[in-house]
């Protein structure tokens, strides 16, 4: 039987039962689907999964799903999840993604409260995906933060390609004219074609506002 053929209560019961499936792909699919189920049962199940799931990817995905149906999660709760070590820091990555969802999709009150949670993860001691997401989450929480713009400009000048281009994309999205000289320099001088393209694309976004 397909999910579309089930009634609402049957669908949720099936999803909840899949959280104990042996195959982690099935458990991950279930937590993703539960992110659209606004019920106490779904919220309770996702919290339990976050706490007890052995597969870090499933647990991280459960956290992102939880914020979609419970945007009242506190900075303290998210901070407690940041303390949990995991393979390739996927649990911390899930927290940073959750913060971006809270700030950009749910317009939580005073999203800048979450900035201290994410700001430290731009440090070069972390893997590039975590650092990319930290910048995105910071931008979602406080897009006019002067310290954010300063950090993005510094990243464009002094970081590895993957994080550089992510910073350029954010500068283009934020449309801050202070970025123009730095982006122009990168577009002219970078030895990497992807960096030059990212710089040109960001410049185009910023200049479109000025026209």
Q: Which residue has the tokens 């339990």?
A: 48
Asked if residues 34 and 46 have their Cβ atoms less than 8 Å apart, the reply is yes
Tell me which DSSP letter residue 7 carries: -
Domain residue spans of the chain: 143-211
Q: Is the pLDDT reported for residue 6 higher than 70? A: no
The verdict on domain 143-211 having CATH code 3.40.50.2300 is no
pLDDT recorded at residue 11: 85
pLDDT digits (tens, 9 = 90+) for 39-65: 999 999 999 999 999 999 999 999 999
Return the higher-pLDDT residue of 8 and 145.
145
DSSP-derived secondary structure for 17-54: HHTT-SSHHHHHHHHHHHTT--SHHHHHHHHHHHHH-S
Integer Cα distance of 143 and 210 in angstroms: 18
Asked if residues 131 and 140 have their Cβ atoms less than 8 Å apart, the reply is no
Q: What is the mean pLDDT of the chain?
A: 91
What band does 171 get if pLDDT is binned at 50, 70 and 90? very high
| Dihedral, CA of residue 94, residue 70, residue 107 and residue 206, to nearest 10 | 20
Integer Cα distance of 161 and 119 in angstroms: 20
pLDDT digits (tens, 9 = 90+) for 81-107: 999 999 999 999 999 999 999 988 766
What band does 10 get if pLDDT is binned at 50, 70 and 90? confident
Asked if residues 12 and 41 have their Cβ atoms less than 8 Å apart, the reply is yes
pLDDT recorded at residue 107: 62
What band does 74 get if pLDDT is binned at 50, 70 and 90? confident
């Amino acid at each position: 039987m397909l999910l579309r053929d089930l009634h609402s209560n049957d669908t949720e019961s099936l999803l909840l039962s899949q959280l104990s499936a042996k195959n982690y792909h099935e458990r991950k699919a279930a937590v993703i689907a539960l992110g659209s189920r606004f019920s106490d049962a779904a919220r309770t199940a996702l919290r339990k999964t976050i706490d007890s799931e052995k597969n870090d990817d499933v647990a991280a995905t459960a956290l992102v799903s939880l914020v979609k149906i419970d945007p009242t999660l506190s900075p303290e709760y998210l901070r407690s999840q940041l303390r949990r070590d995991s393979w390739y820091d996927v649990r911390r990555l899930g927290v940073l993604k959750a913060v971006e969802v809270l700030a950009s999709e749910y317009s939580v009150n005073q999203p800048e409260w979450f900035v201290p949670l994410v700001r430290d993860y731009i440090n070069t001691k972390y893997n590039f995906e975590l650092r990319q997401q930290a910048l995105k989450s910071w931008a979602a929480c406080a897009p006019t933060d002067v310290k954010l713009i300063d950090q993005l400009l510094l990243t464009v000048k002094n970081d590895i390609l993957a994080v550089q281009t992510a910073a350029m994309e954010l500068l283009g999205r934020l449309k801050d004219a202070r970025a123009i000289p730095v982006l122009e320099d990168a577009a002219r001088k970078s030895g990497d074609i992807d960096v030059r393209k990212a710089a040109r694309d960001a410049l185009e976004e910023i200049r479109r506002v000025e026209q």
